[in-house]
């Protein structure tokens, strides 16, 4: 240090010494804003997306990254491609700092929760698109009104997001679950059923058993692995499968409902999706004693590795309570 001071005096650059001391202090004290910007950039792959994540502009993300690299003395990100990519050092640094930052943020959140006794914090939530638009919107609004210390950012999409890889805190998911890394809580039932327009049914021979479907037009969803084979649970519990065909096959669930309303065939769908049509009588249930085979449900999911905050617990409890009696059943779908 004495040598550096002498060099500064000899060259008349007292400012050199001041900047050096600042640099030394910075090197011993990691800046969490820099680390958060780096993690956001690593997760999103672009400065623009990272800026949106941390609520700053891209220039600030760039400055924080440069400052972090200068402090560490190593390049963390390769900027020579359209999407930024981590260097080997960046990958290693990310693996070490991410769990430390997450642990620190959880500690802060838990301490705040103990101080107030209220759920608080930010939740990044993944919601299934069609189901959310039909049934979850008012529940999200009511939850936020009841928990003013909780904030939520939602992604609404029918795809199954990777909660861990995409950094979600909680998700609502329909169907069957296979990921053992997730904590799953079943909060509601959902059932598949067959339905058709009254005018279609009045013109056909009565459909009394699944095999009768071979003689009528069926509307098939290509979103399913085998759209032309429908399975049913017989009254004795046996699973029965039958081949079907008809004038329309598509992955657009709304189009299938429109076709059913127009009298073009029998539709296999989910109870929550056609509850309003069943209540109005514009669609009627077919084969009520032979429910379409479906082991799925409505689940609230959290990553098993991230711990459970009071905010995520409150979110799960809220939806379990509100969906205990599914509103789509109250609107006319069978219980």
β partners of residue 302? 183
Q: What six digits make up the tokens of 246?
A: 């008809």
Question: What domains are defined for the chain?
Answer: 31-109 (1.10.10.10), 118-190+296-330 (3.40.190.10), 192-286 (3.40.190.290)
Place of tokens 């009511």: 142
User: The tokens of 66 are what?
Assistant: 């440069």
Q: How far apart are CA 48 and CA 58, in angstroms?
A: 5
The rounded distance, in Å, linking the Cα atoms of 60 and 81 is: 20
pLDDT tens for each residue of the chain, 335 residues long: 443 443 444 444 445 444 444 444 444 567 888 888 999 888 888 888 888 888 888 889 889 999 998 888 889 998 765 678 889 988 988 888 888 887 777 666 666 555 556 788 899 999 998 899 989 999 999 999 999 999 999 988 877 777 777 888 899 988 777 656 778 888 988 888 999 999 999 977 889 999 999 889 999 999 888 899 999 988 888 889 999 999 999 999 999 999 999 999 999 999 999 999 999 999 999 999 888 877 678 999 888 755 567 888 899 999 999 998 888 885 666 65
Distance CA 331, CA 247 (A): 29
Q: Are strands 218-221 and 266-270 parallel, antiparallel or unpaired?
A: parallel
């Amino acid at each position: 240090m004495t040598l550096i001071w002498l060099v500064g005096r000899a060259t008349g650059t007292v400012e050199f010494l001041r900047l050096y001391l600042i640099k030394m202090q910075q090197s011993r004290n990691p800046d969490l804003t820099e680390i958060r910007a780096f993690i956001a950039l690593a997760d999103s792959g672009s400065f623009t997306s990272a800026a949106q994540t941390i609520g700053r502009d891209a220039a600030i993300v760039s400055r924080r990254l440069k400052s972090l690299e200068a402090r560490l003395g190593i390049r963390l990100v390769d900027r020579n491609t359209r999407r930024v990519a981590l260097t080997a050092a960046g990958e290693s640094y990310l693996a070490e700092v991410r769990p430390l930052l997450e642990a620190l943020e959880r500690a802060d959140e838990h301490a705040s929760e103990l101080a107030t006794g209220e759920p608080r914090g930010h939740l990044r939530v993944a919601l299934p698109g069609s189901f959310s638009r039909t049934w979850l919107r008012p529940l999200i609004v009511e939850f936020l009104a009841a928990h003013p210390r909780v904030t939520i950012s939602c992604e609404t999409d029918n795809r199954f997001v990777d909660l861990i890889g995409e950094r979600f805190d909680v998700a609502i998911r329909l169907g069957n679950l296979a990921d053992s890394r997730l904590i799953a809580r079943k909060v509601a039932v959902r059932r598949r059923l067959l339905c058709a327009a009254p005018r279609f049914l009045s013109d056909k021979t009565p459909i009394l058993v699944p095999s009768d479907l071979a003689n009528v037009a069926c509307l098939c969803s290509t979103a399913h692995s085998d759209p032309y084979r429908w399975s049913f649970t017989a009254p004795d519990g046996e699973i029965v499968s039958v081949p079907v065909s008809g004038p329309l096959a598509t992955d657009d669930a709304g189009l299938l409902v429109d076709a059913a309303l127009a009298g073009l065939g029998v539709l296999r769908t989910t109870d929550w999706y056609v509850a309003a049509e069943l209540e109005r009588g514009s669609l009627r249930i077919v084969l009520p004693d032979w429910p379409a085979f479906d082991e799925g449900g409505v689940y609230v999911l959290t990553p098993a590795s991230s711990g459970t905050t009071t905010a995520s617990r409150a979110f799960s409890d809220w939806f379990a309570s509100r969906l205990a009696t599914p509103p789509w059943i109250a609107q006319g779908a069978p219980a």
